[in-house]
Amino acid sequence: MGATMMMSPPTEIPSNIKSRTPSPSGNKIAILLEEGGGDASSSSNKKQIIEIWSNQGQSLQKRIVLPPTLHGKVCANMNEYGSIQWNKQETALVYCAERQPVKSTSFFDTNSEEKGEGRKVVKGGQYTLGIGIDVTTGNVGLIDNVPSSNDDGTTQGGYLLGQPVFTPDGDAVVYTAWDAGSGGSMPKRLGSTYCQQRFGKIYVSSVKLVMQELSSSAKGETKYGGKDEGYECLTQNDVLARSPRFFYSGGNDSASKLAFLSNPR
């Protein structure tokens, strides 16, 4: 007989818990929470933490403090940019997060090393990054083989990444990339509140090497870019492509299908 799934009664979720993502088998749960910074004015001092609970969410397996130097706020809105996702093997997580904003420099600051560049370094935190985590070592790494990953840090151009999911074998990540200027369809980078029909495409990027590195490195390390190269657009002839999902047939990974929403040209 198979293992019996234990169902917990309904409980109130504390405000510091931003998301709860069960693994495919239901045996593990990834919980994103914030700690510290007791008031709104000290939000910048809050720590973002991912806890891995096993045994149907009864035992704390791992507590991973996300490095603030790698990224900003984690995207945890399933209706827009997606949330934390497991791989099928339940050994890794992927999510998207805001890039750390570049500090603005006054145009008239004569002491700045970036003299004369104060008009172009204002960025905000709207750009998003793909992040991978090995749940055993707790290592966190940047997925940098994505569209427009090496932009100049300004508000001009780029893509917004979101809705990441692992491929069935766990060696790649499929995600949505919304045009924020670099794709040629949207010269203005408006927020999703004012531009819900933003042009977007589905891409796939290999993460095999970076995930191998995260699983084999010393515990608690941060990787600023992996060894994987290249990416591929899966929806060249579609616009407004979004929400990729994999569906499995009889437990056979080779028979899995990728489904997504889109509008034809």
Regarding beta strands 59-65 and 47-54, do their DSSP bridges make them parallel or antiparallel, or are they unpaired?
antiparallel
Q: What is the pLDDT of residues 171-200, one digit of tens each?
A: 999 999 887 766 666 555 555 665 667 788
* Tokens (6 digits) for 251: 């437990």
Three-state DSSP state, 64: strand
Residues 138-165 have pLDDT tens digits of 999 999 898 875 445 554 557 888 999 9
SS3 76: coil
**Residue 97 C-alpha from the chain's centroid:** 5
Tens of pLDDT, residue by residue over 31-90, are 999 998 655 545 567 899 999 999 988 899 999 999 988 888 998 887 778 889 999 999
Q: CA-CA distance, 11 to 239, in Å (whole number)?
A: 41
Distance of CA 216 to the CA centre of its chain: 21
Residue 170 binned pLDDT confidence (cut-offs 50, 70, 90): very high
Model's pTM, two decimal places? 0.81
For the residues 200-229, what does the mean pLDDT come to?
83
Q: How far is it, in rounded angstroms, from Cα 202 to Cα 108?
A: 42
Higher pLDDT, 203 or 223: 203
* Chain length of the chain: 265
Tens of pLDDT, residues 249-265: 766 666 789 999 988 76
Average of pLDDT values for 8-33? Answer: 88
Tokens representing 85? 């996702």
User: Coil, strand, or helix at residue 177?
Assistant: strand
CB neighbourhood size of 84 (10 A):
22
Q: In sequence order, what are the residues at sequence separation of 6 or more whose Cβ sits closer than 8 angstroms to the Cβ of residue 86? A: 21, 23, 24, 28, 30, 92, 93, 166
Residue 63's CB: how many other CB atoms inside 10 A? 13
Q: Are 143 and 171 in contact (CB under 8 A)?
A: no
DSSP letter for each residue of 223-250: ESS-S---EEES-TTEEEEEEEEEEEET
Pairing of strands 172-179, 200-206: antiparallel
Strands (E), 137-191: 140-143, 159-166, 172-179
- What's the pLDDT at 64? 95
CA distance 34 to 44: 11
Bridge partners (DSSP) of residue 231 are 205
Instruction: Please tell me the predicted confidence (pLDDT) of residue 188.
Output: 56
pLDDT digits (tens, 9 = 90+) for 92-134: 999 999 887 666 665 555 554 443 332 222 233 346 778 899 9
